[in-house]
Homo-oligomer: A and B are copies of this chain.
């Protein structure tokens, strides 16, 4: 997705060989028009599938997932990293380790919002080691959903999450795949 790659080149900051900061449009400040284009691009990538629900995880997955949901007319569910007083009742849960926050979170989705009738696309902002997506796949499996694929805004192609998922037969659609961040330079995969 050229618009996204241009934005990454223009505003992304390489913090190390493995960390790319895109806080100006995706993870802290959000560019709503870009999110709309991203939602429409995901819709286009999965246009051969009937999608009944978009599954993501708080917080940075919410904006692109909501724009995909708007584009295809599907409801969006975001997994919670913490329990709140109103997240009660029966829950699907899974364990997710976050390398950027250096902690394990138990993520939860209410059983009210995923069922065996659902065809789900999983959306997230970044794919690195694939921990968050693995947790969401686990929750979808517990719910008996069919997962039609995974949509990622930025995949770090030099980490193993994408390879691991594709080897398991999961369809992964990444809008930008970064090959390397070495020498303070952002290099995309073809």
Which A residues are closer than 8 A to B by beta carbons? 15, 19, 21, 23-24, 27-33, 35-36, 58-59, 62-63, 65-67, 69-70, 73-78, 80, 82, 84-88, 100-102, 109-110, 112-113
Listed A/B pairs (18) with beta-carbon separation below 8 Å: A15-B86, A15-B88, A23-B113, A24-B113, A28-B110, A29-B75, A29-B76, A29-B112, A29-B113, A30-B65, A30-B69, A32-B67, A32-B74, A36-B70, A59-B62, A63-B66, A66-B66, A82-B101
Other than the given A15-B86, A28-B113, A32-B67, 8 more pairs (CB < 8 A) read A28-B110, A29-B76, A29-B112, A30-B62, A32-B69, A58-B58, A84-B100, A85-B100
Measured between alpha carbons, how far is A66 from B63 in the docked complex, in Å?
7
Q: Which residues of B have CB within 8 Å of A74?
A: 32
Task: Please report the C-alpha to C-alpha distance between residue A19 and residue B23 in the assembled complex, in whole angstroms.
Answer: 34
Q: State the Cβ distance, A149 to closest chain B Cβ, in Å.
A: 19
- C-alpha spacing A39/B69, complex, angstroms: 15
Copies assembled: 2
Task: Identify A78's interface contact among B59, B77, B88, B102, CB under 8 A.
Answer: B59
Alpha-carbon gap, A70 to B31, bound state (A): 8
Contact check: which of B29, B65, B112 meets A23 at CB < 8 Å? B112
> Chain B: which residue is nearest A57 at the CB level?
B59
Q: How far is the CA of A63 from the CA of B59 in the complex (A)?
A: 10
Q: Is the CB of A30 within 8 A of B75?
A: yes
Provide the residues of chain B in CB contact with A24, threshold 8 Å: 112-113
* A60 smallest CB distance to B (angstroms): 9
Question: Given A59-B58, A62-B30, A75-B31, is A85 in contact with B36 using a C-beta cutoff of 8 Å?
Answer: no
Complex: A29 Cα to B120 Cα, angstroms: 13
